[in-house]
Structures are given as C-alpha cells and as structure tokens.
Structure 1
Amino acid sequence: MTDFAYAYARPSALEAGPEGQALLLSAFAENAADAAGTACFFRGRLRDSWLAARGLSTLAKVVAARFVPQSAVLRDPIVTAGAGQLRFEAFSSCNGVYARLDLGPEALDGEFLCSGTTNVDFNEPMVNALARISRTESVLLSVGEQEVVLERAAGRVTERKVALPERWIKGLTTVQAYLAQMEETLRLTRLQAVQLVQSLPAGAVRQDMFLVLRGPRPGFAAVASPGAVRVGGVHRLRLLEGLLPLCKTLRVYAAPSGQAAAFVLELGGGQQFVLALSADAWRGFSGEGNQLETLAEELPAEWVAGANALFRGNETFNPTLFALEHGLAPDTVDRLCASLSAMGLLGFDLLENQYFYRRLPFKTQRILSLNPRLKNARALLAAAEDVQLVSIGPEGRTEARVRGTGVWYTVLVGGPEPARCTCPWYSGHQGQRGPCKHVLAAQLRFVKQPSA
C-alpha cells in the first residue's frame, strides 16, 4: 500500500500564555518543502472550551479504537476551516467508525484568516492536556500556525512527522456517500440518549442489532421491526459514553440500504458531534465501494475541474438546489460529487443537508488509483474480447460474459433488478460492498448511462 506522507513544521500542542491556554494545530503539506509556507486559517477563543475539549477527547477516543485487532494504527484526524466553521474529522484505526466534531460560529470567538484543511496530531500529551481543561478555563484555538510547541512545567513536547494511508481518503469517499443518502429516523432526548447506551449488550456484539423505541425508552432488539434502525457492531456506540450525558438532543440517521447508521449529538452552543458506523465491526468504510457505479462513466475533465473551482469558492452547497440553479440533471450532480469526494474533497453535514468542501489537493488520478475495481474494469474494456454480449432480455436485462483469471464469469446488468455476477467477490458480498469489476465493465459497455 502506498501512503500519503504528511509533513509538519512543528507539533500540535496546548500552549500556556498570558491570555490563557492556546490549542495550536499544525498544518500539513503534501511535501516537506511546502510545509513552511502554510497560512494560518483560524485563531481565536473557544466560547465553551470545556465542552469542546470533551468533544475532542471523544474524537481522540475514536481515533485510538481498534475493533479489528490486526488493523494498523491511524492517529491523525483532520480539521477543515471554512464557511465560519471548524470541522474535526477522524476514523477509528480499523476504519469502521467515522467521527466529526463541528464547531460553528456560536462556538468560536475569533477570526478566519483563510479557508483550509490541515492534518492534526493527537499525541498523548495533547490528549492528556485536553482532559485537564476546566469548565472556566480560557483556551485559544489556532489552526495552521507555522510552529507549534507544547510548553508545560514538565517540559517541551515535540511531534513527529506522520504518514497517512490511502484508506483515509477512501473512507471519506464512502462515508459522505452514505451520509448523503441518510434520513432521520429517531430523535432522542438527553435522558433517552443515556438510556440507549445503558441498554447496550455486554461485550462485543457479533450479530446485527436493531434500535427501537419501546414506549418512551430506546433499546436494542435482535429482530428487525417496522421503523427499527439496523446497527452493526453496536458495542462501538460505547465510544459516546462520556459525551451523551452532555448532549441536548441525539438524532439517529440510517442509510436506506441498512449498510450504515449515524448518530448526531447536538451539544449546544454551536457544537455538534457525529458518529457513523459501518455495517459491521469488521468492515472498514474504505472497502465498501458504494460510489463505484456512480464513478463508472468518466465525466469530462473540465466539468470536474469547474465543479471543484465552484465548490471550493462556495464551501457549502445543497446538491438539489445546485442542480436546479445550474440546470443540471440530478444524476450529473451525483457524478460530479462522487468524482470530487473520491479525491477526499467533499464531506456531508446531516443537520444542514449539504456538502462541505475540504481544501485538499485536486488530483484526478486518485479517482482510479484509490478505486482498483474501477481501474480493472476499464482495463477489461480495453480488450474488446474480454467483455462479450450474450443476450438482451425483457426490460433491457442484459447477459454478458466477462473474462476472469483463467475463467469466464456470467454477468447480468440493466433492467429493474440488481446486477449479478458469478465471480467469488459477488458470491461473498452479494452486492453489499459495491459492484465487482466484471459488473462495472458490463455496465460500461452495455447499459446506457443517463444523459447530463
């Protein structure tokens, strides 16, 4: 696996000063030569520093969590400054849990000098310092400082450079696609939110559980019922134990496919915390492939570049309104969003029902390099004899033969039914983790794509 190397001018830290303590987060650059010139994005005071510290501590807890023992350690959340907000994002080390702390205008008393995205180091001294912030403590937050040092009575703390694996961006692509599809299913009070965690089964839960309301009290059942929310790896919700007693409202969202669920804690004072769970504890978001069909047909490069420039300037947008304002088909907007999110450039805000922009490098080659199934499907199309038409049935249902390694697979695409394939990937996942390369190749060759 090829990693993205991120360089830092100096470490992130909580620094004591005459006006209080300042939380300074070091900005990244894709190469060390650019690190020294990174601008300061935001500097100011946290209006409720204790509550923000609880949110950041929960984010650090998510980062440190590993629900698959052999997964690699991933300890570097990101922060995006833009549209008057700061958004801190992270994955668990196993990549199956996504978390985000949003600090809106009400939570901040400071100045946005420019928009930008930076990688944040959560080293142990930082985590320990956040845990000691008191309710009345004044804390300044600076994102993008050239030099960051943690100065405490115990000494000076220095941060090391880090490398960020490819699955980070792949996970962001998958998460925003699920979030954009989700609908709110339940809204719980603070008391109900605490009761929800108290009702969690003991230990790690391997089978699916379903979140239900029994009268006013929420709980989990082993059998689905109307209105229930499927939650895989439900024990992962214990990550929220320290934050749920502080929330005003807990909103529960579910993807129509049941392959992901999200929990949004409204903390008050312009702060909210989002936790999204993959379908199962052993499934990382980076391997889902839920955007592959949308990415299958390549858009003109100038369209993608133009959308990037527009979204970069606007920083937030609602896809439906964007389509209406610019006279575009919804399918075209979906494909533009998928292309940009495949580069890690877009996230999704459930409460505002809109995308937000991350200022990461615009590199279209990442679309293929981070999606090998799509890359392999296009390689199959390069040889005409590798994808062969067998028949076209009623309602456009098409049967094709696609070459595998020493074997031919039968593929069914088009029509109202889901695509099917006889390959081991489809047999193992039944289409729940995105299409295989054989289905993608057959769709690209034989299924007419909607026009723009």
Structure 2
Amino acid sequence: MSDFAYAYARPSALEARPEGNSLLLSAFAEEQAATATGSACFFWGRLRDSWLAARGLSTLAKVVASRFVPQSAALRDPIVTAGAGQLRFEAFSSCNGVYARLDLNSEALDGEFLSSGTTNVDFNEPMVNALARIARTEPVILSVGDKEVTLERAAGKVVERKVTLPERWIKGLTSVQAYLALMEEKLRLTRVQALQLVQGLPAGTAKTDFFLVLRGPRPSFSPVGSAGAVRVGGVHRLRLLEGLLPLCEALRVYATPDGQSSAFVLELGGGQRFLLALSADVWRGFSGEGNQLDTLMEELPAEWVAGANRLFRGNEVFNPSVFALENDLAPNTVDRLCASLSAMGLLGFDLADNQHFYRRLPFKLGRILGLNPRLKNARALLDAADDVQLVGVGAGGRTEARVRGTDVWHTVLVGGSEPARCTCPWFSGLQGQRGPCKHILAAQMRFA
C-alpha cells in the first residue's frame, strides 16, 4: 500500500478581521478525495481562552517537529477530529514514539458544530509563528474546514502546501488507542508537583529506563524500579511539556499494567486538556508495536464490523463495557470489533472520560491486513499445505508446533498458562514485547 498523499487548496492562516483574528485551518478529508470539490466546515466559532489554546497547539506543533531517532522521517502535520461537541487535535513526533492530543470541549468553545469529521491540518511555519503571537486577551475565531482565505504578511503570501502521510500514521493511531484503553491512573499531581516533575528530569538524553515515584509530596525519577513506580522510557521526551506544565491545574499520570507505555494528562482548565503518551523506549515507534495482533487473529464477519462502524460513527463516543452490556455482547467480541475498527484508524481513546471516540476516516477493511504484515504473513503460512505442523500437546495443554521460516523451521510453543514462545530472531530479540511474531500467530490460529 502506498503512502497517502494530501494536498491543500490553500494554506492555514491567522486572518485579521474587524471582529477579531480568525484562525482557519486548511483541511483535507481523505474520504472526500475522489469526488469533493471542497471539504465541509466542521466547526466555526470563538475560542473562549485563545491564548491557552494557542499554547496547547504550539506544544502540539513542537511534538510534530521533534524526532528522537536520527534516521526518522521528516515532520508530519497533525489531524483534527470534530464531533460529540469537542475538537481533538492529534499528532505524532516524527519518530512516531510520542503521541500528543489537545482536546477542546464545549466549555472551551463558543460556536457551532456544523458537521462531524476528521481531517489532516496544515501547520505551516507562518501558522506556528502566528500562534506564538496571540495575546492573552486576544479574540480568535476558530474555523476547521476548507475556507477561502490566505495569509498575507509583509514578508509575502503563503503558497499551497502538500504533505505525504505514510502508512505508519494509521498504524500508530491503532497502537496508541490499544495502549490507552489498557492504562490505569497511577498518580495525580498538583501544578506545583508538575513543575517539580520537570525540574527532576535527568540531565541530557536518558540511556536507560527511569521510574517516576513520589518521595513524600515531591515527584522524582529513579533509575531503580519499586512498588507503585511508573516506568517511563526515554524520560527526556517529557521536556516537550515544559512550556505547558506551568499552565496546568493538575497532572494525571497513567501507565499500562506491563509498563510498555505511559501517558501524562494535563488538565488546563476551561475545557482544555492535553495528553502526551510515550512508547516504552525512544527507538520504538508506536506504528511497530503490534499490540492488537492477538485480538485481530480471528477474523470477524465483514457485516459485523460494518455494523459496528455505522453505530459508532453515529454515536461518536462510547464505553466498550457499557456497550457490551447494553447489546448483550461478550466482552471479547466487543474487543475484537474495536480492534478491527482501530486497525483502520477509526477509533481513539479518551483516558479522562474512559471511552472511545470515533474518527471519520474511510472504512476500508483491506487496511486491517494491509497495515499489519505480521498478521497477513501468518495467514499466508496457514494457506500453505505444510508450513504449520503439529509436533505434540504436552501437559497443561501446551502445544508444540513447527512453523516454516526463511530457509529454517522454527519451534513454537503456544497454549497453556505460559506465554507463547518461538525460536525466530524476532521473538528472541524482543521476547514478545512488540506483539507476537508471524510464526506464533499462525500456530495460535491453527491450534487454538
């Protein structure tokens, strides 16, 4: 599958108007690419605290421009989702190991949602500079959509801009959603403690894991784990929040039970919230985690997935546990439905409200396999006559299998109470921390 190419008919702009400045984000909606002459306007209105929103958007732009792995690709532009009375601006760092989101709910907005939608937005350099110049009491009108505007300055006019969004954009959204849905709140810090958090960051670039703990009332980072500590890989990445932490009212710290991801949620007040999620290590981009592969192993009927998509698209937000109870569905079935939609980039997760939200991207079932090559390769192994062979079943239901690799056969152990294991280099190097290898997937699908 090739990268997704996006072009903007005109640049994003901060336009001076008699009633105040107007922030207009040039938009492109993929699902309208084939036939639309212009994308719809999703929201138009005033930001109640434009200065604070500008600080959040500037931090988002800072995340986009950052890269913590030298060979990572050039920066990408954020996306915005309008729906359920909220605007959500999302972005990844260029290395894909940091995810950030600014949420603006109805309390932060004084305007009208004309329609729901998701689009990629153009944060060009003039836009970033304009955000930095917004004053504390300056009125700003925010319009998300395709508007007939330009940005004219003494230095000249901003021209049309094109960006290319790679496949890892959707793959990263898939992995982040899965991690966020598993996270538990570990710490809740005041503004003073949040500032102490930044002051306590180790100098330079962290080469090893650090663990966030409370020593009395003061948060600190330790190189040694302890009970209740939060593992934070690449802790220096938290410096992305330095400009925003002094403005927060509280900071919530979340982590997955296995310590493979952590998240920091800044309550900014006035209906504004900022989230920063970190992958387990600097070198690990969210797009390669494979943390949904176990759930995606068993293919659901296409009509089930399509039906769930129509329902969630209409409701825009939902809690999976409540949805399962209301519709008399097994939790495992709902997990598989969510994983299937998430694999197409359609679902995000709101930690503070403990619910999924819907992104209005194209519904393309082919992306489930196309963006998950390990799953695709596992099914190819099953299609071959003798590539997955049963060796025997041991005590406790532990199954041993031989699975064909590249010029070699791998031994795979699945089932029972122990984690699955494989002799391939992928598993030997990662020990299952980035999802199962194709050999384990194939054995589980054949013998489970």
User: What TM-score does the superposition give when structure 2 sets the normalisation length?
Assistant: 0.98
Give the corresponding residue for 2:87.
86
Give the corresponding residue for 2:23.
23
Per the TM alignment, residue 33 of structure 1 is displaced from its structure 2 partner at its CA by 4.8
For residues 56 and 322 of structure 1, the distance between their equivalents in structure 2, rounded to whole angstroms, comes to: 33
For residues 149 and 362 of structure 2, the distance between their equivalents in structure 1, rounded to whole angstroms, comes to: 23
For residues 445 and 147 of structure 1, the distance between their equivalents in structure 2, rounded to whole angstroms, comes to: 56
Query: CA offsets, 1:347-380, max 9 Å, x none?
Result: 0000000000000000010010100000000000
Give the corresponding residue for 1:155.
156
Give the corresponding residue for 1:4.
4
Is 2:209 the partner of 1:208?
Answer: yes
Give the corresponding residue for 1:400.
401
Matches within 5 A, 1:162-241: 162-241=163-242
Give the corresponding residue for 1:271.
272
Query: CA offsets, 1:117-176, max 9 Å, x none?
Result: 010111110000000000010000000124342133443212312110000100000000
Per the TM alignment, residue 6 of structure 1 is displaced from its structure 2 partner at its CA by 1.5
- SS of the residue corresponding to residue 111 of structure 1 reads strand
CA contact (8 A) 1:174 1:288 kept: yes
Cα distance, 1:433–1:84 mapped onto 2, change above 3 Å: same
Give the corresponding residue for 2:38.
37
- SS of the residue corresponding to residue 73 of structure 1 reads coil
Query: CA offsets, 1:353-412, max 9 Å, x none?
Result: 000000000001001010000000000000131000111122221110000111100001
Give the corresponding residue for 1:450.
none
Matches within 5 A, 1:59-70: 59-70=60-71
For residues 255 and 228 of structure 1, the distance between their equivalents in structure 2, rounded to whole angstroms, comes to: 12
- Give the paired residue count: 447
Per the TM alignment, residue 32 of structure 1 is displaced from its structure 2 partner at its CA by 5.2
Cα distance, 1:304–1:32 mapped onto 2, change above 3 Å: closer
For residues 394 and 302 of structure 1, the distance between their equivalents in structure 2, rounded to whole angstroms, comes to: 39
- SS of the residue corresponding to residue 59 of structure 1 reads helix
Give the residue type in structure 2 aligned to 1:108.
L
Matches within 5 A, 1:267-346: 267-346=268-347
CA contact (8 A) 2:8 2:26 kept: yes
Is 2:57 the partner of 1:95?
Answer: no
- SS of the residue corresponding to residue 219 of structure 1 reads strand
CA contact (8 A) 2:29 2:118 kept: no
Is 2:249 the partner of 1:248?
Answer: yes
CA contact (8 A) 2:100 2:276 kept: yes
**Share of identical aligned residues, percent?**
83
For residues 148 and 412 of structure 1, the distance between their equivalents in structure 2, rounded to whole angstroms, comes to: 60
For residues 37 and 53 of structure 1, the distance between their equivalents in structure 2, rounded to whole angstroms, comes to: 26
Give the corresponding residue for 1:388.
389
Q: Report which stretch shifted further, 390-399 or 236-245.
A: 390-399
Q: Report which stretch shifted further, 79-88 or 160-169.
A: 160-169
CA contact (8 A) 1:85 1:105 kept: yes
CA contact (8 A) 2:206 2:236 kept: yes
Per the TM alignment, residue 111 of structure 1 is displaced from its structure 2 partner at its CA by 0.3
Give the residue type in structure 2 aligned to 1:226.
A
Query: CA offsets, 1:58-109, max 9 Å, x none?
Result: 0000000000011001321000000000000000000000000000000000
Q: Report which stretch shifted further, 390-399 or 347-356.
A: 390-399
For residues 331 and 148 of structure 1, the distance between their equivalents in structure 2, rounded to whole angstroms, comes to: 48
For residues 397 and 98 of structure 2, the distance between their equivalents in structure 1, rounded to whole angstroms, comes to: 39
Root mean square deviation of aligned Cα: 1.1
For residues 330 and 284 of structure 1, the distance between their equivalents in structure 2, rounded to whole angstroms, comes to: 29
Per the TM alignment, residue 12 of structure 1 is displaced from its structure 2 partner at its CA by 1.2
For residues 242 and 381 of structure 1, the distance between their equivalents in structure 2, rounded to whole angstroms, comes to: 52
- SS of the residue corresponding to residue 385 of structure 1 reads coil
Give the corresponding residue for 2:124.
123
Give the corresponding residue for 1:427.
428
For residues 300 and 429 of structure 1, the distance between their equivalents in structure 2, rounded to whole angstroms, comes to: 32
Query: CA offsets, 1:295-339, max 9 Å, x none?
Result: 011000000000000000000000000000001110100000000
Give structure 1 stretches of 5+ with no counterpart: 448-452
For residues 418 and 61 of structure 1, the distance between their equivalents in structure 2, rounded to whole angstroms, comes to: 39
Cα distance, 1:405–1:93 mapped onto 2, change above 3 Å: same
User: What TM-score does the superposition give when structure 1 sets the normalisation length?
Assistant: 0.97
For residues 34 and 241 of structure 1, the distance between their equivalents in structure 2, rounded to whole angstroms, comes to: 43
For residues 363 and 149 of structure 2, the distance between their equivalents in structure 1, rounded to whole angstroms, comes to: 27
- SS of the residue corresponding to residue 17 of structure 1 reads coil
